A and B are shown apart, each in its own frame.
Chain A
Amino acid sequence: MRAIYFMLIDYIKVKRQLYLMPLFIVIALFMWGQGFSILMSFSYMIFVAIIFSTAPFGACKKEDAGFLVLLPSTTAHRVIGRFLYGMSLAGFAVVCSGIFIVNAQMMGKGIEAWTIAVGLVLLAFCLLLITMEFLILYLIGENLAPQLLGIVRVAPAMTSYFAMMYVMDGKKGNISDSSEGLSILHQMGGEMMQVGLIAIAAALLIWAAAIVICVKVTAKRDYV
C-alpha cells in the first residue's frame, strides 16, 4: 500500500506535465480518425507514456528528502512506487487504446487477432524501455543533470516510435501478413498471440529484476 502512496506522490509531483495528457489522447484519436491503424495510435500513446514515465526523476530535489525519505517506509516502497508509476502510464496507453478498440467494434470495424498480438509485443517493448530508463536513472542517481535526464527521457521514446514504424511498415501503419517486421515475429516461432504473451511475461520479469537492483543500489545511497 505504501508503494501505491508513493506512486500517488509521483503523480502529484508531475501533475502539471500530466495536464497535457488529454491533448495527446486527442492527437491519437485524430490519427486513428484519419485512417491510421489502431496500432499507430497505440504506438503514439506508448511514445507519450515513455516520455512521461521519467518525469518524477526531473521533479526530484535534494531538499525533498527531509519529507519524502522520512515518510515511514522502506527503500523498496519508494522504488516500487516509482516503478508502479511508470507501469501505470503504460496501462493508461492500453486503456486509451482499449477504448478506441471498443469504439471501433461498436462502429462495426473488426479488430484482427494480429492487431492485439502486435499490441502486446508493443506493450512489452514499452515496459522494457521504461524499466531500462528507470534502471539507468537509479544507477546514475535520482538527482542528475537536466541535460542527461533529457537524453534518457527522449532517446528511448524516439527509438521505440521508429521501431514501431519499422514493424508496421506502411505509412499508415496498416499491418499485413507480408510486412517485414511481422515476418521477424513469425520467425520467433509459434502463434503471434503466444509471442505477445511471452513478451509481456518477459518484460514483467525484467521489470521485477530491475526493481530488486534499484532497491539494492538506492538503499546504500545517501540522499543529500
Chain B
Amino acid sequence: MELLEVKNLSKHYKAFDLQNISFTLPKGYIMGYVGPNGSGKSTTLNLITNICKCSEGEIRINGISCEEDAVAYKEQIGYIGDEFYFPDNFKVKNIRQVLHNFYPTFSAKKFDGFLQRWNLPEKKPIMDFSRGMKVMLMFASVLSRDTKLMVLDEATNGLDPVMRTEILGLLQEYVMDGERSVIFSTHILSDLEQIADYIYFIHQGRTVLYDAKDELIENYLLVKGEKSAVSAKLEKALIGVIDNAYGFEALLPSDQAGLLGNDFQYEKPNIDQIVVHYIKDGR
C-alpha cells in the first residue's frame, strides 16, 4: 500500500515553477529526493509538510489529505529540516511539554531516553547546542512519537561521518516494521546509495528520473573513452558528456550498450554519477 501519494504537484513563484511532480512511496521504503541547489527539492518537501500551499495537485499520506483533516495529516509527519526549527528561547522541557500537548502518541520516556542516549543536556539553552546536538534533538522529538512519514530536508548537512552513519541507521530502523517510510533530500548522494530504495531526481522544477535505485543503476552504463571513436548514433544516445584529460565520460542507457563495440570502457554508475551527468546534460 502507498503511504505517500503525490499527484501533479505544481507551485508557481515569480522566478521559479515546480511543475507536475508525481510519485508514490510505498510503506516501508526510503526515497531519496535529489537535485541541484534551487531545483525544487525543499519546495516539494514544504508542500508535503503543508508549510507551503500548492498551486495545483494533491498530496495524501495514508489516504488523508491536509485539506480533509489537517490534524490527522500532520500527526503522521515527522519533519527534520536543514534549519533548526525550535524557537530560540525554548528549553528542552518546553519542547517536551509542547509535544505532550499536541501529540497523543508522544512518549516522554522515549524522548528522555533519546536525550540520554545522545547526551543532550536538559538544562543548557537549546540555542547554545552544537549543530549535531540540534539535529539529534529534532530526531528525538520525531522518534518519540508514532509518525508514519519522516521528511528530511538536507538534515545531515554539516554533520560528521559518525553522526551521519548513526542517522542512516536510525532511518533504516524507522522503516523496518514495514509501516513507515522516509523521504530524504540530500546533496550527500553516498548516503542515499546506502539506504534509499527509490530515487526521485528533480532539476529546474521538473522530474528528470524516478525509479527504484537498483533499477536506475541497472538502466545505465558509465562510458569512458576517446571522443574521436564516438559514432554519430552513439553521440546522440550519450547523456551528459564530460570531457577530461583522458577523453570523455558519459552515461548511456543500458539498452543502447550495443552501440559501444570494443572501443570504450564501461561500468555501472553510482547515483552520484547518474545525477552529475544528467545535470550536465540539462535534460
Contacts of B241-257 to chain A: CB distance below 8 A: none
Task: Tell me if B49 and A70 are in contact (CB < 8 A).
Answer: yes
CB-contacts of A1-54 with B (<8 A): 2, 5, 8-9, 12-13, 15-16
Q: For residue A99, give the distance in angstroms from its CB to the closest CB of chain B.
A: 28
Asked if A73 is at the interface of the complex by the 8 Å CB criterion, the answer is yes
Provide the bound-state CA to CA distance between A8 and B86, in Å. Answer: 15
Interface residues of B in 1-56 (CB under 8 A from A): 46, 49-53
Are B90 and A72 in touch, CB under 8 angstroms?
Answer: no
A72 B103 Cβ-Cβ under 8 A: yes
Per the CB 8 Å criterion, the residue count for chain B at the interface is 27
Given known pairs A2-B102, A5-B98, A72-B103, the reply for A67 and B74 (CB within 8 Å) is no
Instruction: For the complex, give the distance between the alpha carbons of A12 and B126 in Å.
Output: 14
Q: Which residues of chain B come closer than 8 Å to A2, judged between CB atoms?
A: 71, 102
Q: How many residues of A contact B (CB 8 A)?
A: 28
B53, B81, B89: the one within 8 Å of A66 (CB): B81
- Complex CA gap A13/B89 in Å reads 6
Query: Given A71-B102, A72-B74, A73-B102: A64 and B87 within 8 A (CB)?
Result: yes
* In-complex Cβ contact of B71 among A5, A13, A72, A221 (8 A): A72
B87 near A67: Cβ-Cβ < 8 Å: yes
Q: Is A74 an interface residue (CB 8 A)?
A: yes
Could you give, for residues 57-87 of chain B, a 1 whenever the CB lies within 8 Å of some chain A CB and a 0 otherwise? 0000000000000111011010101011111
**Cα distance A119–B65 when bound, in Å?**
48
- Is B194 in contact with chain A by the CB < 8 A criterion? no
Fill in one digit per residue for B96-107: 1 if any A CB lies within 8 Å of its CB, else 0.
001001110000
Residues of A within 8 A of B84 (CB): 63
Residues of B within 8 A of A69 (CB): 49-51
Question: When chains A and B are docked, how far (Å) is the Cα of A12 from the Cα of B70?
Answer: 24
A66-B79 in contact given A5-B98, A73-B74 (Cβ < 8 Å): yes
- Chain A: which residue is nearest B66 at the CB level? A74
- Rounded to whole Å, the gap between the CB of B60 and the closest CB of chain A is 16
Task: Report how far A63 CA is from B89 CA in the complex, Å.
Answer: 13
Q: At the interface, yes or no: A222 with Cβ under 8 Å from chain B?
A: yes
Do residues A73 and B70 form an inter-chain contact, with CB atoms below 8 A? yes
B173 on the A face (CB < 8 A): no
Say yes or no: A67-B52 contact (C-beta < 8 A), given A72-B70, A74-B70.
no
**Nearest 8 pairs between A and B by C-beta?**
A66-B85, A222-B52, A63-B83, A67-B85, A72-B74, A5-B101, A72-B75, A72-B71
Could you jot down 17 A-B contacts, CB within 8 Å? A2-B71, A2-B102, A12-B94, A59-B89, A65-B51, A66-B83, A67-B86, A69-B49, A70-B79, A71-B98, A72-B75, A72-B103, A73-B71, A74-B70, A75-B70, A222-B46, A223-B51
